[in-house]
Amino acid sequence: MTQYLVYMNTILKISSLSKAYEAKKVLENVSFEVGSGKIFGLLGPNGAGKTTLIRIITQIIDPDHGSIVFDGHAQTEEDVFLMGYMPEERGLYKKMPIGEQLIYLAQLKGLSKSEARSKIKKWFEKFQISDWWNKKVEELSKGMQQKVQFIATVLHEPKFVILDEPLSGLDPVNADLINKEILNLASKGATILFSTHRMEQVEEICDSIVLINKGKIVLEGDVKDVKNRFKENIFEIEFEGQIEFEKIDWVDFTHQVVDEHRFRLRSKLPQSPAKVLKFLLESEIAVTAFKEVFPSLNEIFIKSVS
């Protein structure tokens, strides 16, 4: 059973959304909320229904059933001007000069030509690509095209930003650059819907997640709460000296030696970290480091969709 998040300030509320193509159900009774100013992870394996859901939110297609409330009101056509959408498949014109193209896309979102030109120049300076104005998209690598697509998505300063695999094709330096800009947008009040297959990115920047599999929500919650729900009462201990493991009474625990100065405990029943540490100290183990081990989102993802 999923935990349905309810926020004090909600920018997007999805209620009982369903979509089918002929006999195939792509989305089935999907409901969740996205908190204003949050970075929200939309996760799921290939074919889970994520792209269909994004297309419904951006009004590219209509749902069969259900409703969307955006920024406190039933969604209207005008709401798309408050959104920025970066699709996984790039929506850029390959033979059109980048500067001219970005001005055109910004005007479609309501900016004047002079406003667009001014904002583009600032983004070009920030990304150190000022000499790209007359370059064509087809002249750029996949990663560099991704940077241009990102600028096109956020140029009009949207209130709600949808990013579908935004770091695809980027090297670590440019991935870090985009990550910082995503966090910067959120700090200024923008809400980010972040869709990716890379769970380490989700752990790094997302506040909360929803996981869709076969058109249904199978998991939802704050990232910390989700990891807490899947924890397995495992603790990792680093120690000094030698331990005679056979002389310790392991009634409530099983243990596994990792290396010369590290081992793991698994409690047979849920235990607080304080109680586990008390047991270790009473067993006269010279503890130098102690932590509870939580599963990664990647492990949780696999377990939830398997």
Residues 17, 63 contacting (CB under 8 angstroms):
yes
pLDDT at 8: 57
10-228 sits in which CATH class?
Answer: alpha beta
Structure tokens at 17: 């959304």
pLDDT at 261: 93
For residue range 199-217, what is the model confidence (pLDDT) as tens digits?
Answer: 888 988 999 999 999 999 9
pLDDT at 198: 82
For residue range 130-158, what is the model confidence (pLDDT) as tens digits?
Answer: 898 999 989 988 888 899 999 999 999 99
Query: Residue 2: is its pLDDT beyond 90?
Result: no
User: What is the domain partition of the chain in residue ranges?
Assistant: 10-228, 232-305
Q: DSSP letter string over 4-27?
A: ----SSEEEEEEEEEEEETTEEEE
Average pLDDT for residues 291-295, to the nearest whole number? 94
Cα angle 160, 166, 171 (rounded to 5 degrees) comes to: 145
112 confidence band (pLDDT: 50, 70, 90): very high
pLDDT at 89: 76
Query: Residue 169: is its pLDDT beyond 90?
Result: no
pLDDT, averaged across the chain: 91
What is the rounded end-to-end Cα distance, in angstroms, of the chain? 16
Number of other CB atoms surrounding residue 287 within 10 Å: 13
Query: Residue 6: is its pLDDT beyond 70?
Result: no
Average pLDDT for residues 237-241, to the nearest whole number? 94
pLDDT at 22: 86
State how beta strands 39-43 and 65-70 pair: unpaired
Which one has a higher pLDDT value, 261 or 6?
Answer: 261
For residue range 40-92, what is the model confidence (pLDDT) as tens digits?
Answer: 999 998 888 999 999 999 999 999 999 999 999 999 999 999 999 998 877 78
pLDDT at 7: 53
For residue range 63-76, what is the model confidence (pLDDT) as tens digits?
Answer: 999 999 999 999 99
Q: What percentage of the chain reaches a pLDDT higher than 70?
A: 97
State how beta strands 73-74 and 234-239 pair: unpaired
The sign of the torsion formed by the CA atoms of 173, 177, 182, 183 equals positive
One CATH from 3.30.1490, 3.40.50, 3.30.450, 3.30.70 for 232-305: 3.30.70
This model's pTM is above 0.95: no
Cα separation, 48 vs 46, whole angstroms? 6
**Beta bridge partners of residue 99, listed in sequence order:** none
Q: What percentage of the chain reaches a pLDDT higher than 90?
A: 75
